[in-house]
Amino acid sequence: MKRIEAIVQPHKLEDVKEALKGIGIDGMTITEVRGHGRQKGHKEVYRGMEYQVDLLPKVKIEMVVTDQRQDEVVQTLVKAARSGRIGDGKIFIYNVADAVRIRNDDRGDAAL
């Protein structure tokens, strides 16, 4: 199994959710986060004062999928989240040793 973690722009969340739903991915955890990569934030003006905003709003989407679905899910995420501009986000993929469904003790792929 693989844990896929995607950090994307907040305005792309609905597109990503719909794209994942379209390929049968229902289970995911979504967290509002803040951070920056190469773009290092931007400057804003508030009441005549200029200040640096270096932590930008992002959305983190986490899911665990079978090994066989990894490439399909990653390609779907890339296609749905890409705008072609800096700050589109990143995808991280981790190995998952096991999963347990609390309700009935299903394990491994069956727990997904």
**DSSP three-state, residue 4:** strand
Identify the band that residue 39 occupies on the pLDDT scale cut at 50, 70 and 90: low
How confident is the model at residue 99, as a pLDDT?
A: 95
Mean per-residue pLDDT over the chain, rounded: 91
Residue, of 32 and 40, whose pLDDT is higher? 32
Distance CA 50, CA 40 (A): 16
pLDDT in tens, 43-97: 667 777 777 777 888 999 999 999 999 999 999 999 999 999 888 999 999 999 9
Q: Please determine, for residue 37, whether its predicted confidence score (pLDDT) is greater than 70.
A: yes
Question: What is 2-111's CATH number, 3.30.70.120, 3.40.50.2300, 3.40.50.920, 3.40.630.30?
Answer: 3.30.70.120
How confident is the model at residue 42, as a pLDDT?
A: 63
How confident is the model at residue 98, as a pLDDT?
A: 96
Q: Please determine, for residue 12, whether its predicted confidence score (pLDDT) is greater than 80.
A: yes
The pTM of this model reads: 0.85
